[in-house]
A and B are shown apart, each in its own frame.
Chain A
Amino acid sequence: MDELVNALVATVTQAGGSIAWEELINSVDYADRQKVPKALKVAKAKKKLKRYLSYDNGVRTHDVILYPVEAPSEEVE
């Protein structure tokens, strides 16, 4: 499962941080297709990937995006 999670993270990263659901599903081998939803739950728990859904003006956007990374706090000397 970790291997698939890493592959999904790499795919989303390579796509620029966001990829359409259908595109992500089609990026994996057919045998792994059913494992993607579970892998995304693992990735979400690890704060690596999350799903994004909107219907702006009725147009559906269903993407998988990199988890928003917070800026590291400045170290105080």
Chain B
Amino acid sequence: MPFIIVFTLRDAANNDATTEVKIPDSFTLSDYTEFGAGMATAINDFVRGRIMKAELCLPIDVSGFTGNTISILSDVEEIGAFEFVTAQGNRVKLNIPGCPDGVTLPNSNTLDEADAQVATIITAMEDGLAVTGGTASPCDIGGDDIVDTLFARENFRSSGTRKK
């Protein structure tokens, strides 16, 4: 059964939202934390909000990010919506809150896959991240490897939480 890493992001309005990535259970604990810290960096480079935490049962250290200034334009209800497909054709969604405005193609809500931060997210999901024990590559809930991107676009969705 794959392990799930959950990332929590906060925007300027103090709203929180989460997104998650699944990894096969064939790695060591240090590999998971290494992957989680790397993936958190990829997401942090992509979003304008602040990554508050990343969790794999045991918390992953993202203290390096929490000192960042939250952009006044950050909004966790702006979603970077990615949908991938596995080798067996199963679809896997990755909805990252805090999507910045400047990464879409002109006159479109399609994310620019040539953009460095967007491309990094896609590479992390399709090809994985190099960790000490090899390459940790995301999968679906059944452990099937993600091999391609169906779409990447900006969506808007209620975060579902209100702290004020």
Contact = CB atoms under 8 A, between A and B. Distances in A.
A53 B130 contact: yes
Nearest to B131: A54
Q: Is the interface of B mostly helix, strand, loop or mixed?
A: helix
Interface of A: 21-22, 25, 33-34, 36-37, 41, 50-56, 58, 60, 62
Nearest to A63: B123
Contact of A21 (B41, B42, B120, B126): B120
Contact of A58 (B37, B122, B127): B37
Given A21-B119, A62-B120, A55 B114 contact: no
Contact of A52 (B42, B64, B122, B130): B130
A37 B129 contact: no
B113 interface: yes
The 8 closest A-B pairs by CB, nearest first: A55-B38, A54-B130, A37-B113, A51-B123, A53-B123, A51-B127, A33-B114, A55-B41
B64 A58 contact: yes
Contacts of B119: 21, 37, 62
B73 interface: no
Contact of B127 (A50, A55, A56): A50
Contact of B37 (A41, A55, A62): A55
Interface in B32-76: 34, 37-38, 41-42, 45, 64
Given A34-B114, A52-B127, A55-B129, 4 more contacts: A25-B116, A53-B123, A53-B124, A62-B123
Contacts of B123: 21, 51, 53, 62
B105 interface: yes
A50 B147 CA distance: 12
Q: Which residue among A25, A33, A51 has the maximum number of chain B CB atoms within 10 Å of its CB?
A: A51
19 contacts: A21-B116, A21-B119, A21-B120, A25-B114, A34-B105, A34-B113, A51-B123, A51-B126, A52-B127, A53-B123, A53-B127, A53-B128, A54-B38, A54-B129, A55-B37, A55-B42, A58-B37, A60-B42, A60-B120
A37 B82 CA distance: 15
Interface string B118-152: 01101110111111000000000000000010000
Interface in B85-140: 105, 112-114, 116, 119-120, 122-124, 126-131
